Structure 1
């Protein structure tokens, strides 16, 4: 029952983060904090051992450090950094690498899609939508939360959460 709740909770928040990043180019801290809180509540109830929880937390802090380095270099946004750390917390050590690889692949595809999208003229009906016009602007970054969410959703079924679902 607890794993089933997690199997609904995590994907829903990741999808919300992706949609939020796509439309507003921001990922609220509340999403990352909800993912952290959800993990801390559901993991012990799902039967995860304290060592496994601690290892997942340590991995998440390592990812947070690495992604904040990327943020400092201007490569990703701060919301992306926090979302990546919160997502890897749910992946655990066994799926963290898969998540990172999937997110990188989706990020590359997303970047190429945005490069192509920005080379095309924007139809008038789309230009009236502020968020579409913002995404079309060449000075706007890439909503990498979309790639992070896609990578997490592809890797998630391989995690221990599905063993008890």
Structure 2
């Protein structure tokens, strides 16, 4: 289910440059079911996931406030933090940064090729979705160590 939601978020951001609150809410609200199926304990496992998500939300809210990322992107990253432990989440952020750089270069090249004016909007949700899908597919990142 998470994979489908990430795919939907990436497609939506590529097409409309926005990620619906409903998509982000679904990602976040499905996390407790994932915790339960994985046998996570309230303390320390669930508390660690919640703490990570809060830290991620605060850090990326600062990125949003600086005008470097959209609100939907921030909410999607924070919702993903509910699913991945800290180290796999950091690996996902690394993949997201690399994919984001590639998406940015492609959008900038297209912007220049079409001789468009103004600053282009980067669909960073595409990079977040790709990195999240990689994290789901990667067996090392899928283990609760």
Compute the TM-score of the two structures, normalised by the length of structure 2: 0.89
- The higher radius of gyration belongs to 1
Compute the TM-score of the two structures, normalised by the length of structure 1: 0.79
Aligned residues: 141
Gaps of 5+ in 2: none
What is the CA RMSD across the aligned residues, in angstroms? 1.8
Higher helix share: 1
2:99/2:130 contact within 8 Å kept = yes
Structure 1: how far apart are the matches of 2:111 and 2:75? 27
Structure 1: how far apart are the matches of 2:72 and 2:81? 14
The yes-or-no answer on 1:103 pairing with 2:92 is no
Q: Which residue of 2 aligns with 1:139?
A: 119
Q: Which residue of 2 aligns with 1:45?
A: 37
Superposition misfits of 4+ residues, deviation over 3 angstroms: none
Structure 1: how far apart are the matches of 2:117 and 2:57? 29
Aligned counterpart for 1:114 among listed residues 99, 107, 110: 107
Q: Which residue of 2 aligns with 1:83?
A: 76
1:118/1:138 contact within 8 Å kept = no
Q: CA deviation at 1:63?
A: 0.5
Gaps of 5+ in 1: 1-8, 123-135
Note the alpha carbon deviations across 1:68-124, whole angstroms, 9 max, x for none.
1000000000000000111122122230110110000000111111111112138xx
